[in-house]
Amino acid sequence: MAHNEMIEAIMKLEGYTIEEARLTYAQRQNLPDSAFCGPNRTYPAHDAAHVRNGFARLAQFGHRLPKSVRAKIYRCLRRRAKRFGVEHDPETYRWKADGSPNPNWRRRVQETVKWFLKEYGIEK
């Protein structure tokens, strides 16, 4: 199973679609700087859908960011997740909150995807 398919399966499991987390240019411009968790107004996190999407994007691309930036975004997303009642599993990240690699991330994601596919009768 490709990485993108795993991300899509996890998004379905979480109960949202990528379309729900999309912002138009005008909507993005109308948000205050405080609505973003990343530098240069990246990682919008002003509602539950965007917090979920932020976690998904950070899990997917966070390993490309400097450790300090990644940790700052992660901490901000965790605070917002608590505010909006969004659950997430830190074990699914390629890295730990302290910036060190997480050796279990791929296995955890694969287990979650397999469970999801079996649970919803997509794959046996």
Cα 62 to chain center, whole Å? 10
If pLDDT is split at 50, 70 and 90, which confidence band does 34 have?
very high
Residue 83 CA neighbour count, 13 Å, CB half: 14
pLDDT in tens, 60-89: 888 888 989 998 999 999 999 999 998 887
Any idea where the domains of the chain sit in the sequence? 3-119
If pLDDT is split at 50, 70 and 90, which confidence band does 18 have?
low
pTM of the model: 0.65
> How far, in Å, CA of 105 to CA of 71, rounded?
17
Indicate whether 9 pLDDT > 90.
Answer: no
